Amino acid sequence: MSGHRIVVLGGGTGGTMVANRLRRRFGTDEAEIHVVDRDDAHVYQPGLLFVPFGLAQPEEIVRPRRRQLRSGIVFHEQEVAEVWIERDEVLLGDGTVLPYDVLVVATGTRLQPEETEGLGGAGWDERVFTFYTPESAAALRSALERFEGGRLVVNFVDLPIKCPVAPLEFAFLADWYLRERGIRERVELVYATPLDGAFTQPVASEHLAGLLGRKQIELVTEFNTGSVDGAKGELASYDGRMLEFDLLVTVPLHGGAAYVERSPGLGDALGFVQTDKHTLQSPARPNVFALGDATDLPISKAGSVTHFEAEILTENVVRHLAGRELVPGYDGHANCFIETGFGKALLIDFNYETEPLPGRFPTAAGPLSLLRESRLNHLGKLLFQSVYWHALLPGRELPGLGPTMPTAGKHILTPTT
């Protein structure tokens, strides 16, 4: 192999999509493509939501990373230790130094339970759980099976987290699961959030709060978690409020990958990589790009975002290497199915400028309804796993789904003059 040398850090959703897309764009004589990840287990993370309810088995949502990469991509199963952007080099855990012409950062986020007093200590994986790792999601499944009633509190410590709607989905599914088991009336279900409403944006927040109310899930807002006592079953906020629990399902704080903090000039104090919101190039260096959860962009950390960014990032890496102007083509497009239980789901679609609004998707006559529960949305969510493995990761185009948010089906109010 010869030509350009492209190094992709992270072989998760974003790294795999970008490496495969770049492999399609460049012949093996035109570019070497390297992917680095610390392990060989690619988890379909949206599937983690279903594990605690017995709706997915952990082994069904994990595949070898190597096998998701097209032939002609070199995979390094190694920890990224440091990046030296001044020298265009990456240091791996085993001491190997990888030089690059273009670097793509796709190392996602790191869960930081240790940042919250008591989290990860007493009661962890006994009465305090997260469904954000395969291990804790599996332990939570057994705990839910044993649960016979009491207070079940669902919360997240603070934003940013991956898929910010996932804790809400967990609460909705818990309501369904407890009703199926016939013990719902014996359970007080509480959703505690640091936000001032059920979600970040006003229209979606109102819809989701309504849904929580209809399902008799108590909404506790502006609850900034200060500490957790797993032994006593107490969740305390910084402003002195306390929530008792028999079972706590929490999402710990998220930071960027630790090596980002060790790599001068690459990221901010939280370990997220500064990234141009439209081109996905890093302001630190023209040959450094980032996508997915690893960026500091003001949009949800979601697989859909990562997918839309991958299209623009790939195009811009090609343009950068050809000395051409970059395309500012990413508008912050994000969408997410929100599972609401009983075989239904909502869909939200938004971007940097437009909040989630009601309407149809992807066009005015589209089959999916926005911000309204439907069976079709639920089927869409279930089908997505297959789309993920067979179309998204290999880098295939999905017609009608791209980096620009569709507006045709949305009830967008335009001011009259």
> Which stretches of the chain bind ligand FAD, using CB under 6 A?
10-15, 36-39, 45-46, 48-49, 79-80, 106-108, 131-132, 162-163, 166, 257, 259, 292-294, 301-304, 306, 336-337
Q: Which of 115, 110, 157, 114 is nearest to 258 (CA)?
A: 110
Instruction: Give 6's contacts (C-beta < 8 A, 6+ positions apart).
Output: 22, 31, 32, 33, 34, 100, 101, 102, 103, 104, 317
The residue (of 187 and 257) whose beta carbon lies closer to ligand FAD is 257
The residue (of 227 and 354) whose beta carbon lies closer to ligand FAD is 354
The residue (of 237 and 316) whose beta carbon lies closer to ligand FAD is 316
Residue given tokens 């082994």 in the structure block? 59
How many other C-beta atoms lie within 10 A of the C-beta of residue 143? 18
Shortest distance in whole angstroms from residue 93 CB to ligand FAD: 7
Residue given tokens 């997220």 in the structure block? 272
Pairing of strands 288-290, 187-192: unpaired
CA distances from 236 to 46, 155, 229, 248, 404 (A): 29, 12, 8, 12, 41
Cα 200 to Cα 161: distance, rounded to the nearest angstrom: 12
Shortest distance in whole angstroms from residue 232 CB to ligand FAD: 27
Task: List 191's β-bridge partners, or say none.
Answer: 154, 219
Shortest distance in whole angstroms from residue 43 CB to ligand FAD: 8
Q: Phi then psi for 393, rounded to 5 degrees?
A: -60, -45
Pairing of strands 109-111, 254-256: antiparallel
Output the residue with the shortest Cβ distance to ligand FAD: 12
The residue (of 199 and 259) whose beta carbon lies closer to ligand FAD is 259
Instruction: Give 199's contacts (C-beta < 8 A, 6+ positions apart).
Output: 164, 165, 168, 205, 208
Shortest distance in whole angstroms from residue 219 CB to ligand FAD: 21
- Angle between helix axes 13-25 and 303-321 (nearest 10 degrees) is 40
The residue (of 73 and 236) whose beta carbon lies closer to ligand FAD is 73
The residue (of 160 and 230) whose beta carbon lies closer to ligand FAD is 160
| Size of the chain in residues | 417
The residue (of 166 and 178) whose beta carbon lies closer to ligand FAD is 166
Give exposure, 220-237, as e/b (b: 16+ Cβ within 10 Å): eeebebbebbbeebbbbb
Shortest distance in whole angstroms from residue 301 CB to ligand FAD: 5
Shortest distance in whole angstroms from residue 106 CB to ligand FAD: 5
The residue (of 229 and 350) whose beta carbon lies closer to ligand FAD is 350
Shortest distance in whole angstroms from residue 82 CB to ligand FAD: 9
Shortest distance in whole angstroms from residue 242 CB to ligand FAD: 27
The residue (of 224 and 385) whose beta carbon lies closer to ligand FAD is 385
CA distances from 21 to 24, 84, 290, 317, 386 (A): 5, 25, 15, 11, 18
Cα 409 to Cα 217: distance, rounded to the nearest angstrom: 31
Shortest distance in whole angstroms from residue 148 CB to ligand FAD: 26
Instruction: Give 32's contacts (C-beta < 8 A, 6+ positions apart).
Output: 1, 2, 3, 4, 5, 6, 74
